[in-house]
Amino acid sequence: MPQTTHLLNSDHDGLAQAAALLRSGALVAFPTETVYGLGGNARDAAAVAGIYAAKGRPSFNPLIVHVADLDAAELIAVFNDQARKIAAAFWPGPLTMVLPLRPASGIADLVTAGLETVAIRIPAHPVARALLREFGGAVAAPSANPSGKISPTTAAHVMGGLSGKIAGVVDGGACPVGVESTIISLAPLTLLREGGLVREDLTAVLGPLADGGDAQKPNAPGQLTSHYAPAAQVRLNVVTPRPDEIWIGFGDCAGSPLSLSPRGDLVEAATRLFSVLREADALQKPIAFAPIPEIGLGRAINDRLRRAAAPRD
């Protein structure tokens, strides 16, 4: 049955209301530096089940647990020296680590999809951190959109996809990074998902990273083959679009009605990716993307675009 979805301010009163909703077992979307997350109490099995129901998300796809600080993270996951080194270098920020789940963590089984590991991060967005402190616990939060669809980077995007299905949305403005967090696992050190923290920054601190991830048996979010998908069909690396396509440019693409970044800036392109994809999808025509270089944030952008363009079930 539809419920009223409240749009909440990001001031003290709004965050107090959002935290109270989370404590009651309700779902609240909130901004992170990457995208808006759909939050529920990670230790409340009914709340976590509600996340899957609201999103229409497959229950074999794990969720990321968000916490306010390292002390809270160590109550949930088992950290070794390497994990603490990574946390010191990159948290708070757009990095998720997949670590062994602490047996006494109290995290609901649905959060980990029955695995013995947990995906966890400390977000850098001041609104997210203030909400986590106000709530005082762990929040499971996938992206706040229907499963497989375009990720939300504004409160309006969340309302457009989940209004009537969740209790509230904290409006913290547009997300500054615009693509989801990078995900790594340890032992061996493996990159599971490209994201807002670029590979070069990771390897500068950690050394070489193997590539991993399994679309059939995900051990972290964002590994499904078809994901981040608009209603329209998507083609990639298009230099000459067809007459019926909306061409989304990058850099010097004369004639493209939409562009991720006219000046060829990958940071701007990441920030604008999901908003531009939504704008193009609203035109109800096939979508063609100009080539994006496979460097830095370009790898995360191309990862999202390949999944958006993948065949759908």
Matching residue, tokens 């981040």: 228
pLDDT confidence of 310, banded at 50, 70, 90?
confident
- What predicted TM-score, i.e. pTM, was given to this entire model? 0.85
The β-bridge relationship of strands 287-289 and 234-235 is parallel
Task: Round to whole Å and give the CA distance between 39 and 169.
Answer: 10
| Helix (H), strand (E) at residue 29 | strand 28-31
Greatest mean pLDDT range, 6-10, 202-206, 252-256: 6-10
List Cβ neighbours of 98 (8 Å cut-off, separation of 6 or more).
Answer: 117, 118, 119, 120, 183, 184, 185, 186, 192, 219, 220
List Cβ neighbours of 313 (8 Å cut-off, separation of 6 or more).
Answer: 226
Other Cβ atoms less than 10 A from the Cβ of 242: the count is 11
Residue 184: the pLDDT is 95
Closest by CA to 140, choosing from 108, 178, 186, 116, is 108
List Cβ neighbours of 302 (8 Å cut-off, separation of 6 or more).
Answer: 236, 292, 294
Closest by CA to 100, choosing from 86, 114, 82, 118, is 118
Could you give the 3-state DSSP secondary structure of residue 64? strand
pLDDT confidence of 201, banded at 50, 70, 90?
very high
Do 44 and 25 touch, CB atoms closer than 8 A? yes
Query: Torsions phi, psi of 258, nearest 5?
Result: -130, 150
pLDDT confidence of 258, banded at 50, 70, 90?
very high
Matching residue, tokens 């979307």: 29
Task: Round to whole Å and give the CA distance between 294 and 61.
Answer: 27
Mean pLDDT of 144-171: 94
Q: What percent of the chain has pLDDT over 70?
A: 93
Task: Round to whole Å and give the CA distance between 8 and 18.
Answer: 7
Residue 311: the pLDDT is 80
pLDDT in tens, 101-148: 999 999 998 898 778 999 999 999 999 999 999 999 999 999 999 987
Statement: residue 58 has pLDDT above 70: no
Statement: residue 225 has pLDDT above 60: no
Task: Round to whole Å and give the CA distance between 223 and 233.
Answer: 20
Statement: residue 301 has pLDDT above 60: yes
Residue type, 99: L
Crossing angle between the packed helical segments 266-281 and 297-309, to the nearest 10 degrees: 20
Matching residue, tokens 């790594």: 184
Mean pLDDT of 181-202: 92
Using CA of residue 278, residue 282, residue 283, residue 287, what is the dihedral sign?
Answer: positive
Is the domain spanning 6-211 CATH 3.20.20.150? The answer is no
Q: Which residue has the higher pLDDT, 114 or 68?
A: 68
Statement: residue 308 has pLDDT above 90: no
Do 238 and 290 touch, CB atoms closer than 8 A? yes
Closest by CA to 260, choosing from 239, 274, 244, is 274
Do 42 and 107 touch, CB atoms closer than 8 A? yes
The residue extents of the domains of the chain are 6-211, 234-309
CA 267 to chain centre: 16
End-to-end CA, the chain? 27
Residue 143: the pLDDT is 94
Statement: residue 224 has pLDDT above 60: no
Statement: residue 220 has pLDDT above 70: no
pLDDT confidence of 216, banded at 50, 70, 90?
low
Q: What is the largest CA-CA distance in the chain?
A: 59
Closest by CA to 128, choosing from 179, 67, 177, is 67
Q: What mean pLDDT value characterizes the chain?
A: 91
Could you give the 3-state DSSP secondary structure of residue 15? helix
